[in-house]
Amino acid sequence: MNCVKDWPEPIVPVQSLSESGSRTIPDRYIKPPSERPSFFNSTQTSHLNNIPLIDLGDLNTKREETLSQLYQACTEWGFFQVVNHGVNPQLMDRAREVWYGFFHQPMEVKQAYANSPKTYEGYGSRLGVQKGAVLDWGDYYFLHCLPCSLKDQNKWPALPPDLRAVIDEYSAQVMKFCRKLMKILSENLRLGEETLQNAFGGENFGACLRVNFYPKCPQPELTLGLSSHSDPGGLTVLLADENVAGLQVRKDDNWITVKPAPHAFIVNIGDQIQVLSNAQYKSIEHRVIVNSDRERLSLAFFYNPKSDLLIEPAKELLTPETPALYPPMTFDQYRLYIRTKGPRGKSQLGQSQNSPR
Ligand code: OGA
Ligand code: NI
């Protein structure tokens, strides 16, 4: 297999392990018992609800009600699904199709985009550079959409032929949706509607896309597609496979398996908005389970602050009773942690990284 010198070990794409036909997974992917999906040997998630579903089409006719649903979703769940978000449904389908097209190409074609831990841009199979770490059962493609100085379409896959154009348009529409959400989230904190966006650097915010590909796994009960983590950035807009569940969201001591609604986005609050809101909004841990008969693809779009601005709790929210819970830090400083250590619960925000029972 291809060996990139700045990874601690040679990179083996999970897809090639999956396609080898082996009925067992290598030890490197076996999680300690406390982190394995409880889904397979208990019914603890079955009685619980799905994450909130919000219809943004109601924003004009039922504004108060929609804002209050969003407030509750951000403060109690940190996760919600949105329909009527303004992004073209056919474009969403095309975005999924072009990425399936990319991952279904021969390995040599994908390896031409192999990434390194310096920037993570391109085709990869691990997050974190710790030698001997337990790995996740997933491959991914990571690319930048903004700022313009980082966006380089030559680093996006050249095939399928319309991938670059589809993803360019998709990212433009998703950014518009994020811009709209930022106003609502700001208003719901009783801040001016531009306060959160201004804290992100106004029009100089950042945006990137991580496309996750989870191949079929012969022993899904022993591993995870993506270990428990919270997203380090601002907002995440996930387009998940409508036919294959996989994302699990932590709710108190349970893991809720998200059932995607047709043409919905799954939105979650990232760590930077938790900090700006002084923990009114919650950046919640989530993880991905895999399965033995269906592969799964997801597009995670990250809407982030300009990376060298200091992010700290909004001054307007601070009182003697509610002092700042976090020190100022730039997003660049913050994300170095996750990029070195890999996904690890929420330890970087000073919270427990233990998985629920
Ligand atoms: C992520 C993520 C979830 C999924 O990429 O940060 O949480 O369902 N993805 O792939
Ligand atoms: Ni995530």
The pLDDT tens digits for 116-145 are 998 999 999 998 888 999 999 999 999 999
Question: What is the pLDDT at residue 335?
Answer: 86
Ranges 2-16, 99-113, 299-313: which has the least confidence: 2-16
Question: What is the pLDDT at residue 354?
Answer: 35
Can you tell me which atom of ligand 1 is nearest the CA of 300?
A: 5
Question: What is the pLDDT at residue 346?
Answer: 72
Can you tell me which atom of ligand 1 is nearest the CA of 236?
A: 6
Give the Cα separation of 158 and 82 in Å (integer): 31
What CA dihedral angle connects 187, 60, 67 and 185, to 10 degrees? -40
Ranges 83-97, 115-129, 311-325, 327-341: which has the least confidence: 327-341
| Residue to probe by mutation, ligand 1, list 99, 247, 339, most atoms within 8 Å of CB | 247
Taken as a whole, the chain contains a residue count of 357
Interval 300-309: pLDDT, tens: 999 999 999 9
Question: What is the pLDDT at residue 39?
Answer: 57
Please say if the pLDDT value at position 42 is more than 70.
no
Helices 89-103 and 163-188, packing angle to 10 deg = 130
Instruction: Tell me the pTM.
Output: 0.93
Q: Which residue has the tokens 């001591």?
A: 253
Question: What is the pLDDT at residue 350?
Answer: 55
CA separation, residue 33 to residues 218, 222, 356 (Å): 17, 8, 12
| Residue to probe by mutation, ligand 1, list 14, 244, 271, 298, most atoms within 8 Å of CB | 298
Please say if the pLDDT value at position 356 is more than 70.
no
Interval 251-266: pLDDT, tens: 988 999 999 999 999 9
| Residue to probe by mutation, ligand 1, list 99, 142, 212, 297, most atoms within 8 Å of CB | 212
Take atom 2 of ligand 1 and give the residue whose Cα is closest. 300
Structure tokens at 299: 């597009």
Take atom 6 of ligand 1 and give the residue whose Cα is closest. 231
Domains and CATH numbers, the chain: 14-350 (2.60.120.330)
Percent of the chain with pLDDT over 90: 85
Report CA(29)–ligand 2 centroid distance (Å).
Answer: 19
E-only strand ranges, the chain: 53-55, 79-83, 122-124, 139-146, 206-214, 226-229, 235-240, 247-251, 254-257, 265-269, 286-288, 296-304, 310-311, 329-330
Interval 72-102: pLDDT, tens: 999 999 999 999 999 999 999 999 999 999 9
Question: What is the pLDDT at residue 339?
Answer: 73
Give the Cα separation of 330 and 332 in Å (integer): 5
Can you tell me which atom of ligand 1 is nearest the CA of 140?
A: 5
Can you tell me which atom of ligand 1 is nearest the CA of 286?
A: 7
Please say if the pLDDT value at position 3 is more than 50.
no
Pocket of ligand 1 (CB under 6 A): 210, 212, 226, 231, 238, 240, 246-247, 286, 288, 298, 300
CB 13 within 8 A of CB 29: no
Can you tell me which atom of ligand 1 is nearest the CA of 210?
A: 5
Quick one: average pLDDT of 321-343?
85
Q: Which residue has the higher pLDDT, 232 or 348?
A: 232
| Residue to probe by mutation, ligand 1, list 286, 287, 299, 338, most atoms within 8 Å of CB | 286
Question: What is the pLDDT at residue 46?
Answer: 47
Report CA(321)–ligand 2 centroid distance (Å).
Answer: 32
pLDDT band per the 50, 70, 90 thresholds, residue 281: very high
CB 125 within 8 A of CB 12: yes
Can you tell me which atom of ligand 1 is nearest the CA of 258?
A: 8
pLDDT band per the 50, 70, 90 thresholds, residue 182: very high
